[in-house]
Amino acid sequence: MTKLKGLLLTEGMHGMISQVEGLAKALDLDFIHEKIELNSFWKLFPPKVTPVQGFVFKNVISSQFDVVISCGRKSVIPSIYLKKKFKNKIINIHIQEPKVSLNNFDFIVAPEHDDLIGSNVLKSKGAIHYLTNNELDESESYLKDKTNNQKKIVTLIIGGPTKHYDYDSKIIDEIFKKVENNFLNNDYQLIVIPSMRTPQHIIEKAKDFFGDGQIIISNVDKKAYLSALKISDHIIVTCDSTSMISEAAITGKPIYVAQMPAVKNDQRFKSFFNLFESLNIIKPLNNSVENWTYIKLNETDRIAEQLKDKIKQHDFF
């Protein structure tokens, strides 16, 4: 049977790419990725007051496709536009709350902690993503040869400033000190993994603070990220990224969340943390080291199976 063709629409951020590509792979689509660019004037408006017209976005979409998977504010209008244009010839799926009527989409995939309700809403525990255990296995050796095999491994995955968390220098110092006191002083080796949002000065601060003997990855490096997840005994993720916490949960390993004071209402994040704590996936990074286990989280495949069943029930093609 010929694979369905997928068109992925995002703003190009890691968390969004991870979600749309993860779902596309799980649905076994032959897909291409389109980074959406809005025309300058329409960047200022939320989707709910933006006209569903082609002049809103710069992209010229000419490829053939059966399924549109979108994620992020900028992708909302292009997805609705394509659905109105092609009607039941295509299926459009939006990931995360679109901030417009849910009826504009065939399906919505939203995290459980968003409390989004609708007949076409599929709820995931945390964010879906593109990581698989096979990829982790294949990348294991990438960093393993650089580590001290006499020591346990702890990985610190760092996000970056957002509208909710500003990465105050004193807070970063406190997080680094907890990593040192809890792990390095107890014979662990550290791997630091930055993300696309991590400021260069934070990476340099990590190099200066932790010094020789630790592995500080200077650039965004997916293989290093996958390898670190695979070989680590403990994982620490900064609180600003529910996506990276969700990705780490595929390992089944203890995950500590390095919390920071919020500069804006972060109730969605608190709901996420409460859910993952209730599933015994995460604990806050404090002043002790524990070992615990949980069922590896693989929400992408679970949601994909639900979608496959629902797509079969509809006469889309």
- 262 and 303 in a common domain: no
Using alpha carbons only, give the angle 275, 180, 212 rounded to the nearest 5 degrees: 125
pLDDT greater than 70 at residue 316: no
- Average pLDDT (60-89) is 94
pLDDT confidence of residue 315: 59
**317 domain-assigned:** no
pLDDT greater than 70 at residue 297: yes
Contact indicator for 1, 30 with CB cutoff of 8 Å: no
**199 domain-assigned:** yes
- 143 and 262 in a common domain: yes
Separation CA 280–CA 274 (nearest Å):
10
Is this model's pTM higher than 0.85 or not?
Answer: yes
Percent of the chain at pLDDT > 90 equals 91
- 103 and 77 in a common domain: yes
- 207 and 112 in a common domain: no
**294 domain-assigned:** no
Average pLDDT, the chain: 94
pLDDT greater than 90 at residue 51: yes
pLDDT confidence of residue 107: 97
Burial call 286-306: b when 16+ CB within 10 Å, e when fewer? eeebeeeebeebbbbeebbee
For 86, phi then psi, to 5°, come to -105, -10
**291 domain-assigned:** no
pLDDT in tens, 183-221: 999 999 999 999 999 999 999 999 999 988 999 999 999
**208 domain-assigned:** yes
**41 domain-assigned:** yes
pLDDT confidence of residue 62: 84
Q: And the tokens for 142?
A: 């990438």
- 170 and 141 in a common domain: yes
pLDDT greater than 80 at residue 314: no
- 114 and 138 in a common domain: no
- 145 and 120 in a common domain: no
DSSP structural state of residue 191: E
- 259 and 150 in a common domain: yes
Closest C-alpha to 248, from 258, 234, 261: 234
- 105 and 12 in a common domain: yes
Query: Which residue would you say has higher pLDDT here, 317 or 205?
Result: 205
Separation CA 242–CA 249 (nearest Å):
11
Domain that holds residue 232: 133-284
**246 domain-assigned:** yes
Give 32's contacts (C-beta < 8 A, 6+ positions apart). Answer: 6, 7, 8, 63, 65
- 138 and 121 in a common domain: no
Number of structural domains the chain divides into: 2
- 216 and 101 in a common domain: no
**209 domain-assigned:** yes
pLDDT greater than 70 at residue 20: yes
- 186 and 84 in a common domain: no
The DSSP result for 53-110, as a single string, is SGGGB-----S--SEEEEESGGGHHHHHHHHHHHGGGSEEEEES--SS-GGGSSEEEE
Residue 155 belongs to domain with CATH number? 3.40.50.2000
Residue 78 belongs to domain with CATH number? 3.40.50
pLDDT confidence of residue 140: 97
pLDDT confidence of residue 1: 55
pLDDT in tens, 220-260: 999 999 999 999 999 999 999 999 999 999 999 999 999 99
Place of tokens 């909710």: 164
The CB-side HSE value for 153 (13 A sphere, CA atoms) comes to 23
